[in-house]
Chains A and B, each alone.
Chain A
Amino acid sequence: MEAKEWALKVRRGDRKAASKLISAIENKEKIARNVLKLLFYGTGKAVSLGITGPAGVGKSCLVSCLITAFRKKGKTVGVIAVDPSSPFTGGAFLGDRVRMMSHTRDDGVYMRSMATRGYLGGLARSTLDTMRVLEAMGKQVVMVETVGTGQDEIEIAQIVQTCLLVLTPDMGDDIQAMKSGIMEIGNIIVLNKTDLPGKEKALLDLETALRFRSPAEEGWSTPIVSTSASKGEGIEELMNEIEKHQAYLRTGEGLSKFAFKRAEKEGAVLLKDEIERAIFHGLKGTGLRRRYLEKIAGGEIDPYSAVEEVLSRFIKDSPQESIRPLNQKKAGG
Chain B
Amino acid sequence: MLRMDMDDHAAIQAVLAGDKEAYAALVVRHSRRLYRVAFRITGNQADAEDVVQEALPRGYRKLESFESRSDFGTWIYRIAVRCALDRIGGSKVDESSRVAETTNREQNGVQVADREAGPERLLLSGEIRAMQQIAMHGLSPTERTAFMLRHLEDLTTEEIAAAMGIEPSAAKQSVFRAVQKLRLRLATLRVKI
Do the two chains belong together in a single complex?
no
